[in-house]
Amino acid sequence: MKRIGILTAGGDTPALNATIAGAVERANQLRIEVIGLIKGYSGLLNPEVPHVHLNPLFQSIPELDAARGGTILGASRDYVSADDRETIERVVSRLNRLGVEGLICIGGDGTLNGMQAICESLPTVLAPKTIDNDLGLNYADEPSEFSRVPDEQSPKGYRYTKAEERRFELEEMVNFATPGYATSVFVAAQNVQRIRTTAESHRRIAVIEVMGRDCGMIALGTAFGQPDMILVPEVPVDPEAVVTRVLEILDCQKHAVICVSEGIKDAQGHNFGAVRTVKDPAGNIQYSGAAEAVKQILVEQIGDAFFTRKRRNESADAAIFCRKIGHTQRGGRPIRFDRFQASQLGGEAVDLLVEGRHNYVATLQYRDGGFVHEGIDASRLRDRWGVIHARPLSRSFYDEARFRPS
């Protein structure tokens, strides 16, 4: 193999450049040229979007700094559909014109599904990444209790989602954290710790919202910053229970820090923060955002009793505040663990291509006291599932991670 291509797709993470650098370093050792494809799959479709040579004379270009966040290649959320023959042909003929003999896609579940469209025409390997840590290959476990959906027809009163049932059948499931996750947890946990001191000083309630789509891994990771309560999408939010617990916390420490995942749901499975209607005397009000919705419940249920009556100079609306940490979770430098993992996966992706693997996923697992590289055949997953889904938390993982403030 003389020349390979590499692209980054989907939402960025702080560790993308580390994966690119790991791949280029391994390619340098093997004397393989690496072409960087700009702006993911969408860049490939636009002839005006250029490509870059990442290792002329088998030396990495100076712009490629593994410690720098984001991606020097740019990313987009456009994917190629497996049914769109014309687009697939355009992508493949661009790669052929570039003389690329294999392709490394750095991405998550969306990228892996997009890769299915081109892997028949060209060897492709996924180097995984996502801050959400929800790649559908993670966490070998029994079906997640969180994936139960009410079903009156079933004698048990519930069934598992299709994706979860399929995942359970799958013996290839592996256990590893995707690059980007550790850094985003680090940032989120630090935010929780920082917000605590100000909440404590002013005797306030802080509601912090973290990313993660429908997976609570980032929220759960903020346990390192010791919030008083964590709400995750996999466990339906019971407003009454939240209020009771917050009152207990206030009783013992006069302030509270709550971390909520952006994807939290109500008992009916509706997104709690997308559009939540809470009735007030003037009619219906719509709140957007998970943290904002939780804040409003607290303002209505305990704001008056706890703040307004006791502290005449501060409204409940100010004393209960919410913050979205937002894209700071995806930005900036990767922490060392992410950088290590990401660059290892980049190097492994090159090795998998050189071994002649088609449609593989590079993984790095911690097993038996050491790191184990293991490629996973994505075609088997595709043939069995059709589509590779993002994965929610598993019940046992959640239970292990649960903690109570002392």
For the record, the structure tokens of 51 come out as: 């490509």
Stretch that binds ligand F6P, among 114-122, 130-138, 338-346, 395-403 (CB under 6 A): 130-138
**Residue 118, amino acid:** I
Subset of 246-305 contacting ligand F6P (CB under 6 A) = 262
* Closest CB 131 distance from ligand F6P, rounded Å: 5
Paired with 221 in beta bridges are none
Q: What is the CA 47 to chain-centroid distance, rounded?
A: 31
* Closest CB 345 distance from ligand F6P, rounded Å: 18
For the record, the structure tokens of 97 come out as: 């014109």
Rounded to 5°, angle at Cα 241 from 209 and 192: 25
- Residue with smallest beta-carbon separation from ligand F6P: 211
**Interatomic CA distance for residues 301 and 384, integer angstroms:** 48
Candidates 71, 116, 130, 222; binder of ligand F6P (CB under 6 A) is 130
Nearest to ligand F6P of 170, 274 (CB atom): 274
Q: Which helix (H) or strand (E) holds 103?
A: strand 102-107
**Interatomic CA distance for residues 335 and 272, integer angstroms:** 31
Nearest to ligand F6P of 66, 75 (CB atom): 75
- Residues 6 or more apart whose Cβ sits within 8 Å of residue 282: none
**Interatomic CA distance for residues 362 and 374, integer angstroms:** 6
Given 109, 132, 134, 338, the catalytic residue:
132
How many residues in the shown chain lie near ligand F6P by CB under 6 A?
Answer: 9
3-state helix, strand, coil split of the chain in percent (to 5) is 40, 20, 40
Say if CB 263 and CB 271 are below 8 A apart: yes
* Closest CB 264 distance from ligand F6P, rounded Å: 13
* Closest CB 302 distance from ligand F6P, rounded Å: 29
* Closest CB 18 distance from ligand F6P, rounded Å: 17
Nearest to ligand F6P of 94, 213 (CB atom): 213
| 75 near ligand F6P, judged by CB under 6 A | no
**Residue 89, amino acid:** E
Nearest to ligand F6P of 106, 211 (CB atom): 211
Paired with 158 in beta bridges are 150
Nearest to ligand F6P of 5, 136 (CB atom): 136
**Interatomic CA distance for residues 146 and 161, integer angstroms:** 10
Nearest to ligand F6P of 132, 348 (CB atom): 132
Candidates 4, 5, 6, 11; binder of ligand F6P (CB under 6 A) is 11
* Closest CB 45 distance from ligand F6P, rounded Å: 19
Subset of 320-359 contacting ligand F6P (CB under 6 A) = 330
Subset of 204-243 contacting ligand F6P (CB under 6 A) = 211-213
* Closest CB 327 distance from ligand F6P, rounded Å: 6
- Output the CA torsion sign for 74, 77, 83, 87: negative
Stretch that binds ligand F6P, among 84-92, 128-136, 239-247, 366-374 (CB under 6 A): 128-136
Paired with 206 in beta bridges are 257, 321
- Output the CA torsion sign for 218, 221, 224, 227: positive
Candidates 6, 131, 291, 299; binder of ligand F6P (CB under 6 A) is 131
Three-state DSSP at 41 gives: helix
Nearest to ligand F6P of 105, 350 (CB atom): 105
Q: Is 132 a catalytic residue?
A: yes
| Residues of the shown chain interacting with ligand F6P in the complex, contacts defined by CB under 6 A | 11, 130-132, 211-213, 262, 330
Residues noted as catalytic: 132
